[in-house]
Chain A
């Protein structure tokens, strides 16, 4: 759509069948996890090889259509030993908690156990992706837990509906855990990161409980936002 308007383009694509169907003028397919088109975080050498391979297609004169495959897997793909985050979470209850009054203190305790690591990560990188909800961390759980009580609380953030605010609180919870878990080396692969969050944290149980409540809810916004855009489908079952 850009090229037809007169500007040369090159695309780094992750899903080869999509590239085959859409036929972009110049494409480099890369065999990396969705969300990581340059392959490996904080590996400038590897990223540079990918970028150079893509930009080199601009020099080619044999298109359209050019579709090349990047030859190497990313180090992100192969799990690196038995990765654990540097902090230890409080023991996770064997069975799901039931009431909002049980969830809030238990989950707040889990969050407090990793907040020092998150603050370290934020200090080192000078930034954080936490903040989509615009709520301060102590306000996340009281807001989200209201939904477990069967209520749909009013949004306290201008320009966000109740359901959108809940989705962004869920984004913030996930970002807090992911950034804390990656505060120091050794770093997890994307798969290790997901498996740890979705199968070992009370926060993931909480998000699953919100999803289960949303599926039963007649409030359309809460139902759609939280049944589809909080827990990825591969992780809807607790382990």
Chain B
């Protein structure tokens, strides 16, 4: 799990002690019915196409991922999460095939053409401009809901 007891020490203490921002408000956007929603995915695995440069250490940048990721790379600086699952099946952290299946079955409206990747170890408070840019792109692409998948 990530039940705390399943994370080996000293990684467990490190993760539980990470400072998380306390946001001043709890925003809420009423979503469309799921069967009408256009959905995109955001992973924090520092996933990108191998032909692109790696994520620099501490970066607040993000990458756009095509819905068909042919040659994936993970350049996350953290070594405290499992990569073997993603090496065997990328859907375990970037569930693009499962989302496509739910869209094909009519559970979800449709799947966005572009998805997003960040480096999850970066301080979220440094990512305000990143969020602005991602949201502008989501709106331009008529995306109704974003699935956030940290690793």
Interface residues, chain A, with chain B CB atoms under 8 Å away? 1-18, 21-25, 30-42, 44, 47-48, 50-52, 54-56, 58-59, 61, 63-65, 73-74, 76-77, 125, 127, 129, 131-132, 159-160, 164, 167-168, 171, 174-175, 178-179, 182, 187-188, 190, 193-194, 229-234
6 contacts between A and B (CB under 8 A): A14-B2, A17-B16, A39-B92, A52-B107, A164-B57, A234-B9
Q: Judging by beta carbons under 8 Å apart, are A7 and B145 in contact?
A: yes
Q: Given A38-B95, A132-B73, A232-B80, A2–B23 Cβ distance below 8 Å?
A: no
Q: Given A1-B131, A32-B2, A47-B98, A64–B27 Cβ distance below 8 Å?
A: yes
Q: What CA separation (Å) do A178 and B74 show in the bound complex? A: 14
Give chain B residues whose Cβ lies under 8 Å from the Cβ of A179: 87-88
User: Which interface class (under 10, 10 to 19, 20 to 34, 35 or more) fits B?
Assistant: 35 or more
Choose among B1, B11, B27, B135 the residue that contacts A73 (Cβ–Cβ < 8 A): B1
**Can you name the residue of chain A whose Cβ is closest to the Cβ of B47?**
A129
Nearest-CB distance from B107 to chain A (Å)?
Answer: 7
Question: B97-114 interface mask toward A, CB cutoff 8 Å, 1 = contact, 0 = none?
Answer: 111011000011000000
- Check B150 for interface membership: any CB of A closer than 8 A: yes
Choose among A17, A56, A76 the residue that contacts B85 (Cβ–Cβ < 8 A): A76
Give chain B residues whose Cβ lies under 8 Å from the Cβ of A3: 27-29
Q: Judging by beta carbons under 8 Å apart, are B88 and A187 in contact?
A: yes
Give chain A residues whose Cβ lies under 8 Å from the Cβ of B57: 164
Q: Judging by beta carbons under 8 Å apart, are A9 and B151 in contact?
A: no
Give chain B residues whose Cβ lies under 8 Å from the Cβ of A32: 1-2
**Can you name the residue of chain B whose Cβ is closest to the Cβ of A76?**
B85
